[in-house]
Chain A
Amino acid sequence: MGVMEIAKGMGITLSKLFQKPVTICYPEQPAQLKARFRGRHVLTRHPGTGLEKCIGCSLCAAACPAYAIYVEAAENDPKSPHSPGERYASVYEINMLRCIFCGMCEEACPTGAIVLGNEFELADYRYGDFVYGKEDMMVGTQGSKLQRREARTSGKPVVMGFEVSVREELEGVKYAPDRRVSDGESNRASNPANPESAGRKA
């Protein structure tokens, strides 16, 4: 190995020293997610009527390679239906510890009811808390079970550690802007290393 090669290699190392870093200081700074990032599932509703898209057909559970989904169906009361048609999911559970976020459920769903969202901060303390029910995944619910528990006890809104442009399948989903900016807890907005986030926010 000659001197030239060493100098070349060191040159690459040195040149990186003056480039913008590709890493970010998560969780102080929000992660920048691509729209198709597969995170926690969302159960969507029909726009307009507000009825659940899920009809409890259990095809997601059949498609799931990790056996993470459990569905129980029931008959709609015609006077106050949960979903259009006769059938709705009375129980819809996903075990987030089992889920491998492959997106097969989304592919199998005939009504586009189950869509993989972008939330990934699903850490929790007990096994039982990783089983997400209907109320934990229905569109409009923000954050993981733990995040919402903390938000309840602290009285502060749920804080999300990422930013993303929501894809259209996630009808009605709005991931709350990062509150830490306005609270002044983070220097992310003024961070020159992350101009993209400022651009997206605008």
Chain B
Amino acid sequence: MKVTVDGRTIEVPTGTSAIDAVFAAGLDVPYFCSQPYLSPIGACRMCLVEAGSPRKGPDGTLILDEKTGQPKIFWFPKPQASCTLMASEGMVIVSQSASVKKAQAGMMEFTLINHPLDCPTCDKGGACELQDRAYEYGYGDSRFEFDRRHADKHYNLSENVVLDQERCIHCKRCVRYFEEVPGEEVLDFIERGSYTFIDSAEEGLPSNFSGNITDICPVGALLDNVSRFRGRNWEYDHTATVCTACSVGCSITVDARNGQLERIQGRENYQVNQTWLCDGGRFGHTWLRHERITTPMIREGGTRAGAWVPATWDEAIRLIRGKLGEISSKNIGLYSHADITLEEGLALERFAAQLGTDSVDHAPRYSSASTLVPPTLLEVSQADFVLVLGADVHEEAPVLALRLEEMLKGGLLPARYEHGTAIADLRMPERVVRQRHKLVVFSSKSNLLHGKAGLAAEISGASALHDLLAGSAAFADIFKSLEAAQKPIVILGAEVACLGRAVLQEAETLVQKYNAKLLVLPAASNSSGLSHLQLVPRGKGSSLQAMQVGAALVSRLEQVPADFAGFLMVHDTHLTEAATRADVFLPAVSSYEKRGTFINLEGRALTLRGAAIDAGESVDLMGVIGALGDALNLKPEIRGVRSAQREFQKRLNIDLSSLPDEGQIINWSGTSSAATFSAATSSVHSSVTTMWKPNMLRGKNVVPQQARELFVGGDD
């Protein structure tokens, strides 16, 4: 389809909106209400352009201009909002004329009539769409001489989101967001005209995804209360990295100031999180700064009863050398949390092999992993039938719930152009009727997904799976749907996945029978990557539950077995329960400070980049392994991210140091995979399935009390 924008004729696909045609032509139009992942509604009227198109006469041919002989352009009588105007064949759009500029500047003047212009005190200042567009397109002056609207400037919508009613320009992004993305209508416009304000009928914002409205608000009306007044936008060090709070791996921007993590914002990744984040990932970062320990510590007097005293790394290594000298290297256990990077996992694997120890483990993990290729998140959003067994998706992998909501809406994704995701995709309507019959949920406890499913029951996922395989007559409708579906997907949650190989085998049989794809929600954020490394215990008593070793390194795990009496080295950010029983404390960096690679639930490799956070003398797991090697006079094979990535280049034939921004699905076939965990080690770790992960609850006042009750206490 050919469209002419300000004299440039360009080719755009059918269905393109006029605003995208203008951007595709390399020109710019101001807009506030459009958002790539929301339906365009033309609320702000900022994107005015002049447009006209040829018209056909009664004989079916284009009406021609008498003078030029070209098709005559019939212009709209007034400038049109380009976000709600569909481009058509031969359309002529004028976006840069004087009359368009005047219309846009006039609109800007209207928008600013009731805006308080308190940019110096506004947290949005410097990253504000209204500020930028007013500078680029406004008159720079107002003819409005009367009193502005005055409203509540500090209105807490919830503990995490604060609303300034004066600043709102009624673009309706937040209202549409709640209806369209999480499917939870918690905000709406109240009153009319200049008295309009947004509010919710409930206390707070009862949604797991409320923080996203602070990202999409084009002005400073909805702001992140956690980072309120912590810094101006130009003062932050922005780091584009990946959230490791759960296995989805949302792209985030970590904003730090003065070496302290202050704010997390969503970053666009079309394949994974679009631009959305869950509240746990967005607001749950404050645990890091409370009572963090950033120097090694040893015990006073050398006994466990002694008080902690800060030490240098040299002192800690000397102490470790003395203790480990008495122990055979086979008798040393290495245990880590399963949210370490792939590079750290490889270093751990190689170091365990060097020591010759069987006692290496990561937790939480399931005793067995599926070898089937999981569906991608885009495939989930475009599936035509999804069966969820024993999963609380909103807690285990929150953003996956948004993809399921998208699936219920029909799996319509915004188009992508050279200038990015479509600013206004006119195929996306408001208030889509959800195709609830496409979702079936079975889990032993009712959860948020139950309310969205066509069929949901509070029965255990494993028994439902068993009955499904047995062909129980009660599930006749499900069999019919599974058979009719072209792209069915089965999602297994913690409740089922922790039951071991036999149940997993049943699930694999089920999906193979219906040609479905199986998505097993990983136990921890990087489980799907670590399951391909030899990080499982191989002998009796070598698992984390038994820990029958003379000395153990425990990295960021909260607990060790009560009867463990050996030499304990704890590598963590805070003094956890395990750390209170340790002999040496080694400070750890958080995932926000690491460099490396992270594998999400769909097997996508995503790059972690270290934010500018002051972590003192903290090191990652590779650093601790280096220190242990120093103490044992061993030179670890993997000593840094680069040597690990060289090894992965050999194993996977993939360069992890230059992954694309959207990540890359890794093909593990042909590698020596540890996915087939041995039956001897089939001990199951309890998987924590809350959106607010335990470390987020570590610090004081870390999570607002209300959220704590909503997400954690609510279960019991």
On A, residues with C-beta under 8 Å from B are: 55-59, 61-62, 72-75, 85-87, 110-111
- Per-residue A-contact encoding for B226-259, CB less than 8 Å = 1, 0 else: 0011111011000000000000000000000000
Residues of A within 8 A of B121 (CB): 55-57, 85-87
* A61 vs chain B, min Cβ distance (A): 8
- A75-B156 Cα distance, complex, nearest whole Å: 14
- Per-residue A-contact encoding for B138-154, CB less than 8 Å = 1, 0 else: 00000000000000011
- A87-B154 Cα distance, complex, nearest whole Å: 11
A86 touches B153 (CB 8 A): yes
Of chain B, the residue at the smallest CB distance from A58 is B232
Residues of A within 8 A of B235 (CB): 58, 61-62
Residues of B within 8 A of A75 (CB): 228-229
A86 touches B154 (CB 8 A): yes
Interface centre among B118, B153, B229, B234 (most CB of A within 10 A): B229
Enumerate 21 A-B pairs (CB-CB under 8 Å) in ascending A order. A55-B120, A56-B121, A57-B120, A57-B121, A57-B125, A57-B232, A58-B232, A59-B120, A61-B235, A62-B232, A62-B234, A62-B235, A73-B229, A73-B231, A75-B228, A75-B229, A85-B121, A86-B121, A86-B154, A110-B120, A111-B120
- Per-residue A-contact encoding for B88-125, CB less than 8 Å = 1, 0 else: 00000000000000000000000000000010110001
- A175-B275 Cα distance, complex, nearest whole Å: 56
Of chain A, the residue at the smallest CB distance from B225 is A75
Interface centre among A74, A85, A86 (most CB of B within 10 A): A86
- A58-B230 Cα distance, complex, nearest whole Å: 11
A85: contacting residue among B118, B125, B232, B234, CB under 8 A: B118
- A46-B532 Cα distance, complex, nearest whole Å: 66
Residues of A within 8 A of B125 (CB): 57
How many of chain B's residues touch chain A, expressed as a range? 10 to 19
B229: contacting residue among A59, A61, A87, CB under 8 A: A87
Residues of B within 8 A of A110 (CB): 120
Of chain A, the residue at the smallest CB distance from B232 is A58
Q: Which 8 residue pairs across A and B have the least CB separation, nearest first?
A: A57-B120, A73-B229, A87-B121, A110-B120, A58-B232, A55-B121, A85-B121, A87-B229
Interface centre among B118, B121, B125 (most CB of A within 10 A): B121
Residues of A within 8 A of B229 (CB): 56, 73-75, 87
* B334 vs chain A, min Cβ distance (A): 42
- A175-B211 Cα distance, complex, nearest whole Å: 51
- A85-B117 Cα distance, complex, nearest whole Å: 13
Residues of B within 8 A of A86 (CB): 121, 153-154
- A28-B518 Cα distance, complex, nearest whole Å: 89
* B303 vs chain A, min Cβ distance (A): 40
On B, residues with C-beta under 8 Å from A are: 118, 120-121, 125, 153-154, 228-232, 234-235
* B256 vs chain A, min Cβ distance (A): 14
* B604 vs chain A, min Cβ distance (A): 38
* B115 vs chain A, min Cβ distance (A): 16
Of chain B, the residue at the smallest CB distance from A59 is B120
- A56-B120 Cα distance, complex, nearest whole Å: 8
- A61-B231 Cα distance, complex, nearest whole Å: 11
- A57-B118 Cα distance, complex, nearest whole Å: 10
* B439 vs chain A, min Cβ distance (A): 43
Given A56-B121, A62-B234: 9 more A-B contacts, CB < 8 Å? A57-B232, A58-B231, A58-B232, A59-B120, A61-B235, A62-B232, A74-B229, A85-B121, A86-B154
Of chain B, the residue at the smallest CB distance from A84 is B121
Residues of A within 8 A of B118 (CB): 85
Residues of B within 8 A of A72 (CB): 231
* B229 vs chain A, min Cβ distance (A): 4
Residues of B within 8 A of A87 (CB): 121, 229
Of chain B, the residue at the smallest CB distance from A62 is B234
* A44 vs chain B, min Cβ distance (A): 16
Residues of A within 8 A of B154 (CB): 86
- A75-B229 Cα distance, complex, nearest whole Å: 7
Residues of B within 8 A of A59 (CB): 120
Of chain A, the residue at the smallest CB distance from B120 is A57
Residues of A within 8 A of B234 (CB): 62
Of chain B, the residue at the smallest CB distance from A109 is B120
* A65 vs chain B, min Cβ distance (A): 15
- A62-B120 Cα distance, complex, nearest whole Å: 12
Residues of A within 8 A of B228 (CB): 75
- A55-B230 Cα distance, complex, nearest whole Å: 13
* B3 vs chain A, min Cβ distance (A): 41
Residues of B within 8 A of A111 (CB): 120
- A13-B330 Cα distance, complex, nearest whole Å: 95
* A199 vs chain B, min Cβ distance (A): 42
* A158 vs chain B, min Cβ distance (A): 33
* A46 vs chain B, min Cβ distance (A): 15
- A195-B232 Cα distance, complex, nearest whole Å: 51
Residues of B within 8 A of A57 (CB): 120-121, 125, 232
Of chain A, the residue at the smallest CB distance from B118 is A85
Residues of B within 8 A of A74 (CB): 229
- A72-B235 Cα distance, complex, nearest whole Å: 11
Residues of A within 8 A of B153 (CB): 86
- A56-B153 Cα distance, complex, nearest whole Å: 17
Residues of A within 8 A of B120 (CB): 55, 57, 59, 110-111
- A21-B29 Cα distance, complex, nearest whole Å: 66
* A131 vs chain B, min Cβ distance (A): 14
* B151 vs chain A, min Cβ distance (A): 14
* B238 vs chain A, min Cβ distance (A): 16
Residues of B within 8 A of A85 (CB): 118, 121
- A28-B82 Cα distance, complex, nearest whole Å: 74
- A87-B122 Cα distance, complex, nearest whole Å: 9
- A86-B234 Cα distance, complex, nearest whole Å: 20
- A75-B118 Cα distance, complex, nearest whole Å: 15
Residues of B within 8 A of A55 (CB): 120-121
Residues of A within 8 A of B231 (CB): 58, 72-73
Of chain A, the residue at the smallest CB distance from B229 is A73
* A139 vs chain B, min Cβ distance (A): 20
* B131 vs chain A, min Cβ distance (A): 13
- A58-B123 Cα distance, complex, nearest whole Å: 11
Of chain B, the residue at the smallest CB distance from A110 is B120
* A196 vs chain B, min Cβ distance (A): 41
Residues of B within 8 A of A56 (CB): 121, 229
Residues of B within 8 A of A62 (CB): 232, 234-235
* A106 vs chain B, min Cβ distance (A): 15
Residues of B within 8 A of A58 (CB): 231-232, 235
- A110-B125 Cα distance, complex, nearest whole Å: 13
Residues of B within 8 A of A61 (CB): 235
